[in-house]
């Protein structure tokens, strides 16, 4: 049996782990232990995902949150090192680009435990983003790098990974695996916000620090959304940090905001929305999975293939550019019949690869 410790801590990782851990559980050669760093601790950001996606309950919860990046990452490394010494895994698996990702990889590397990085090779080429720092450093010390796209593999090749002692594998996107399975479920779900059931609306999210921690950027984004809300309804579920920033910004909104929603409720809204406006990396992809155009409130994206193929436009935080991008994308007819993220078997490819390591 291969003993794997999986380290998760944030919403996108819960989603990815739900499908990969399910695949592991169905195998007869993997024993997985899950550690939750506690990075997301609000019920709607945390336990609701475990409940509705049937993620195995973590054996440990470090409950590390609401501190600076440096303190969070440092405390995670300290606690994770103790648990890895106790658990003695063959492999440590990390997802994506959060502080939990980097802390897990560093703790494992210092103990000479091999690292699996799922969603490797992504680059926004903006080192001011904490996520970019996390993903670049995690890639460099990982032993098995599972890449969701051709572009991700190319990024690693350009950085010289062919010369490193590691495996680089294009397996597709595990979030696409889950979205395909979930499409069969959401048709039977009640509409999460009843008044929008038969209305045209835009699904919007804001949570990136570069937007929520910059008062001028946030004000510009909110002004753009107010203009758009004069023409079409907006559904904006708010991350707790974003809610606090908007309250302190004192920009009056002419549309209602909502508490964070679970994964399946968000997919239900995605299926029925007219357009997505977001600064989330995961939601950019999920928009594509559900054949929706997207306006991204960032200057760069790690999902460059969506921009290159016209499914996504980068609007940044400028009020006029956001509004003009909305006008262009809401009426744009795109052909979504293109394979960007694999065939829905990304988790199985991970399992098959690990089988060969026995």
User: Taking a C-beta distance cutoff of 8 angstroms, is the pair 245, 212 a contact?
Assistant: yes
pLDDT tens profile 121-156: 999 999 998 999 999 999 999 999 999 999 999 999
Q: In this structure, are 77 and 221 located in the same domain? A: no
Q: In this structure, are 85 and 198 located in the same domain? A: no
pLDDT of 45 > 70? The answer is no
Give the integer Cα–Cα distance in Å for 299 and 316: 5
What SS3 class is residue 122? coil
Which one, of 50, 279, 82, 110, lies nearest residue 294 by Cα?
279
Q: In this structure, are 162 and 61 located in the same domain? A: yes
Q: What is the pLDDT of residue 47?
A: 72
Give the integer Cα–Cα distance in Å for 172 and 312: 19
Report the number of distinct structural domains present in the chain. Answer: 2
Q: In this structure, are 26 and 157 located in the same domain? A: yes
179 occurs within a structural domain = no
* Lookup result for tokens 């501190």: 67
Q: What is the pLDDT of residue 50?
A: 79
Q: In this structure, are 11 and 109 located in the same domain? A: yes
Average pLDDT on 222-233 reads 97
pLDDT tens profile 51-86: 888 888 899 999 999 889 999 999 999 999 999 999
- Output the furthest CA–CA distance in the chain (Å, rounded): 59
Q: What is the pLDDT of residue 40?
A: 76
318 occurs within a structural domain = yes
The dihedral region occupied by 96, where left means phi > 0, alpha psi between -120 and 50, and beta the remainder, is left
Query: Where in the sequence numbering do the catalytic residues fall?
Result: 207
For residue 249, CA distances in Å to 94, 127, 214, 253, 323 come to 35, 26, 10, 11, 20
pLDDT of 215 > 90? The answer is yes
DSSP assigned state of 6: E
* C-beta atoms surrounding 138 within 10 Å: 26
pLDDT of 44 > 60? The answer is no
Domain boundaries, position 46: 2-173+342-355
CATH code (residue 311): 3.40.50.2000
């Amino acid at each position: 049996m291969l003993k794997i410790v999986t380290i998760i801590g944030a919403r996108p990782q819960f989603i990815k782990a739900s499908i990969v851990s399910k695949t592991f559980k169905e195998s007869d050669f993997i024993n997985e232990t899950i550690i939750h760093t506690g990075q997301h601790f609000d019920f709607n950001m945390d336990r609701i995902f475990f409940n509705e996606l049937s993620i195995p309950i973590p054996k440990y919860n470090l409950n590390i949150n609401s501190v600076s990046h440096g303190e969070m990452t440092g405390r995670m490394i300290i606690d994770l090192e103790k648990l890895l010494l106790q658990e003695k895994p063959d492999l440590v698996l990390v997802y994506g680009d959060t502080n939990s990702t980097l802390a897990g990889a560093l703790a494992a590397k210092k103990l000479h435990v091999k690292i699996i990085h799922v969603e490797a090779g992504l680059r926004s080429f903006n080192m001011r983003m904490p996520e970019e720092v996390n993903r670049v450093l995690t890639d460099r010390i990982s032993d098995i790098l599972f890449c969701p796209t051709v572009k991700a593999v190319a990024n690693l090749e350009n950085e010289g990974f062919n010369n490193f002692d590691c495996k680089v594998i294009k397996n597709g996107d595990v979030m696409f695996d889950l979205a395909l399975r979930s499409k069969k479920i959401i048709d039977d779900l009640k509409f999460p916000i009843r008044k929008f059931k038969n209305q045209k609306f835009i699904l919007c999210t804001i949570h990136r620090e570069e937007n929520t921690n910059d008062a001028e950027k946030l004000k510009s984004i909110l002004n753009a959304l107010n203009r758009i809300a004069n023409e079409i309804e907006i559904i904006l579920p708010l991350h707790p940090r974003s809610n606090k920033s908007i309250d302190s910004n004192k920009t009056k909104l002419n549309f209602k905001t909502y508490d964070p929603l679970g994964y399946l409720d968000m997919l239900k809204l995605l299926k029925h929305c007219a357009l997505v406006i977001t600064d989330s990396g995961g939601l950019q992809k999920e928009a594509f999975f559900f054949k929706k155009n997207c306006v991204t409130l960032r200057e760069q994206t790690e999902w460059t293939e969506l921009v290159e193929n016209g499914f996504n436009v980068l609007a940044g935080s400028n009020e006029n550019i956001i509004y003009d991008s909305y006008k262009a994308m809401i009426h744009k007819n795109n052909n979504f019949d293109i394979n960007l993220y694999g065939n829905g078997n990304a988790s199985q490819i991970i399992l098959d690869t690990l089988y060969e390591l026995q």
